[in-house]
């Protein structure tokens, strides 16, 4: 212990296990300052054992409390000035608020739309502001963070339609925004990862291929945890050697056995098996853009994220899967505290930069 934050970032970048098969590149990033496996990163352990969250008693769900408990006070890690612009994207359903984060540039640069997480019913642009600013800096790209409508007030597909509409607006206004029309990607964390890849599926449905890259950070891709030929959720898939009860609790935190969160999002408007709700169940993914999928070792959503990476790669989509060992869900929010959060934004930036023109 005692390594500097910068040293830990370097180690995450250098010490990684890489395998390639079919169209899938899998990168395992070990805990940067520990040789232990089957355990939490020491920073995650410290967070979990010093911040006992006030979980609701079983059977009770308070929407306002759940929304208020989301996010984490993270830090701005940029070293250059990033300009923030507040825009309203016109839509038939009312204007969609968004924030544009722009690095200093005079030539046209790529763009990436970012959709925040929060179970489709929560989350804010504030929580992802610092990650988006860092992504703008590291990718030298304009990042558009979209304040899509939330359930249950606006059930599926309202939020998804907002995200897709925001993409179309960026594409249509590329020259005014000084961005490269053929270098636009989508990204998001958790529920936002679901919205990002669902936008790619919508684009495919329309026979277009204007979205060139998707970066999905611990995405929700199978809302009902429905078994498929290549996916079945099991706790046995998690390597737990230490702090068994704590880690089991962390992994199971996002299980939704009563389908409460799904019902909030869907409100009976669609079935949980709808491909735009659960992209892992989509029949055709053959023309989706290249993908980066990021998972956390001790996250309930890890197994479905990995299954989605395999599905895309088997369909011939260039796919990179990164697993951060010892991490739990929502680690991206801990930018400035967890070096993995910064490394994750660097990896998204790298994927955007590698896009062929």
The pLDDT tens digits for 12-39 are 999 999 999 989 999 999 999 998 899 9
Domain locations along the chain = 5-50+71-353
* pTM of this structure: 0.96
In this predicted structure, which of 3-17, 100-114, 167-181, 287-301 has the lowest mean pLDDT?
3-17
Is 300's pLDDT higher than 90? yes
Q: Percent of the chain at pLDDT above 70?
A: 96
Angstrom CA distances, 202 to 54, 119, 173, 260, 276, stand at 38, 20, 20, 26, 8
Assess contact for 326 and 247: CB atoms under 8 A.
no
Average pLDDT over residues 158-183: 98
Q: Is the pLDDT reported for residue 56 higher than 70?
A: no
Whether the predicted pLDDT of 103 surpasses 90: yes
Mean residue pLDDT across the chain: 94
Q: What's the confidence (pLDDT) of residue 356?
A: 57
pLDDT mean over 235-251: 96
- pLDDT reported for residue 52: 57
pLDDT (mean) for 245-259: 93
| Catalytic positions | 190
Sign of CA dihedral 175, 348, 350, 73: positive
What is the structure's pLDDT at 54?
Answer: 47
Across the range 162-191, mean pLDDT stands at 98
Of 156, 144, 167, 164, the closest CA to residue 119 belongs to 156
Domain 5-50+71-353 indexed as CATH 3.40.50.1820: yes
**Reported confidence tier of residue 357, pLDDT bands at 50, 70, 90:** very low
Of 293, 343, 349, 292, nearest in space to 111 by CA: 349
Which pLDDT band, with edges at 50, 70 and 90, does 61 fall under?
A: confident
- Name the DSSP letter for residue 117: -
């Amino acid at each position: 212990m005692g390594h500097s934050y910068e040293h830990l970032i370097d180690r995450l970048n250098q010490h990684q296990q890489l395998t390639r098969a079919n169209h899938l590149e899998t990168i395992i990033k070990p805990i940067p300052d520990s040789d232990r496996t089957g355990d939490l990163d020491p920073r995650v352990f410290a967070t979990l054992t010093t911040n006992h969250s006030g979980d609701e008693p079983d059977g009770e769900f308070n929407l306002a409390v759940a929304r208020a408990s989301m996010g984490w006070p993270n830090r701005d890690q940029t070293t250059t000035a990033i300009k923030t612009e507040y825009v309203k994207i016109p839509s038939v359903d009312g204007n969609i608020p968004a924030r544009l984060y722009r690095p200093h540039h005079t030539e046209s640069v790529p763009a990436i739309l970012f959709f925040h997480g929060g179970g489709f019913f929560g989350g804010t642009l504030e929580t992802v502001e610092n990650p988006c600013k860092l992504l703008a800096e590291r990718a030298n790209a304009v990042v558009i963070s979209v304040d899509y409508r939330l359930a249950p007030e606006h059930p599926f597909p309202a939020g998804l339609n907002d995200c897709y509409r925001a993409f179309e607006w960026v594409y249509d206004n590329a020259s005014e925004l000084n961005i490269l029309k053929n270098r636009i990607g989508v990204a998001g964390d958790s529920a936002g990862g679901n919205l990002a890849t669902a936008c790619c599926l919508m684009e495919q449905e329309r026979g277009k291929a204007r979205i060139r890259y998707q970066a999905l950070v611990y995405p929700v891709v199978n809302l009902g945890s429905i078994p498929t030929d290549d996916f079945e959720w099991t706790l046995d898939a998690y390597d737990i050697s230490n702090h068994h009860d704590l880690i089991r609790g962390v992994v199971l935190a996002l299980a939704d056995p009563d389908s409460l969160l799904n019902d909030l999002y869907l409100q009976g408007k669609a079935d949980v098996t709808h491909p735009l709700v659960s992209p892992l169940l989509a029949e055709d993914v053959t023309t989706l853009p290249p993908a980066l999928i990021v998972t956390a070792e001790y996250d309930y959503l890890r197994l479905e994220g990995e299954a989605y990476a395999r599905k895309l790669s088997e369909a011939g989509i260039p796919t990179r899967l990164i697993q951060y060992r010892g991490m739990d869900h929502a680690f991206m929010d801990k930018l400035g505290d967890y070096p993995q959060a910064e490394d994750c934004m660097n990896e998204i930036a790298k994927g955007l930069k590698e896009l062929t023109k």
